[in-house]
């Protein structure tokens, strides 16, 4: 009960002091207090920034040896898609286009093989129509869904500047291996 009276008395004193200061004085006091709080926070943050970090465990300080050329080559071939599933990858591109709201009727396909590296390249050129944002969304989703694909070329065309529908030609290359 006594603490409630003390709180009420304190609030009355603060209210009287605020009335004496006026609106401009109260604003100036609030800005002064905010500046003091910001200065105290910045000094504390600076103090924390200069505190030394605890030493790293010995197992983290030793760097792993870089991969060998054979390990890099094996990783490269592991990343490639399989030639026998090329049509499924093209179907996946059509599915992603439909999900992103693009009109995609047909595509041009070109297959080539590099005999030295035993890597096949399946070029897929897709004419699409839709909103500019949807075309970029399609491109990014396709590259995420098919990690062995590259987006080699993209060209945009619009009849007029106010036209909301954009025509684009995207050329993807799927890098494939013969055997799993």
Q: For the chain, which residues make up each domain, given as ranges?
A: 1-50, 76-177
Q: At what angle do helices 86-99 and 132-145 cross, to 10 degrees?
A: 150
Nearest to 177 by CA among 78, 55, 97, 39: 78
pLDDT of residue 41: 80
Instruction: Tell me: pLDDT of 50 over 80.
Output: no
Provide the phi-psi class of 84: left if phi over 0, else alpha when psi is between -120 and 50, else beta.
Answer: alpha
More confident residue, 152 or 37: 152
Architecture of domain 76-177: 2-Layer Sandwich (3.30)
Q: What is the pTM of this model?
A: 0.60
Task: List alpha helices for the chain, DSSP H.
Answer: 2-49, 58-61, 69-79, 86-99, 132-145
pLDDT of residue 56: 65
Instruction: Tell me: pLDDT of 121 over 90.
Output: yes
pLDDT confidence tier of residue 95, bands split at 50, 70 and 90: very high
């Amino acid at each position: 009960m006594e603490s409630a009276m003390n709180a009420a008395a304190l609030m009355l004193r603060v209210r009287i002091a605020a009335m004496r200061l006026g609106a401009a004085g109260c604003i100036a006091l609030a800005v002064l207090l905010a500046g003091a709080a910001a200065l105290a926070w910045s000094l504390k943050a600076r103090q924390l920034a200069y505190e030394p970090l605890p030493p790293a465990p010995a197992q983290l300080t030793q760097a792993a040896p870089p991969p060998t050329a054979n390990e890099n080559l094996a990783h490269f071939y592991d990343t490639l898609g399989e030639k026998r599933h090329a049509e499924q990858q093209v179907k996946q591109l059509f599915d992603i286009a439909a999900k992103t709201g693009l009109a995609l009727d047909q595509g041009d396909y070109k297959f080539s093989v590099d005999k030295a590296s035993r890597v096949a390249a399946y070029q897929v050129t897709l004419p699409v129509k839709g909103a500019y944002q949807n075309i970029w969304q399609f491109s990014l989703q396709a590259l995420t869904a098919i990690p062995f694909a590259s987006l080699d070329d993209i060209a945009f065309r619009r009849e007029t500047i106010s036209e909301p529908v954009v025509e684009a030609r995207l050329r993807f290359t799927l890098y494939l291996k013969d055997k799993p």
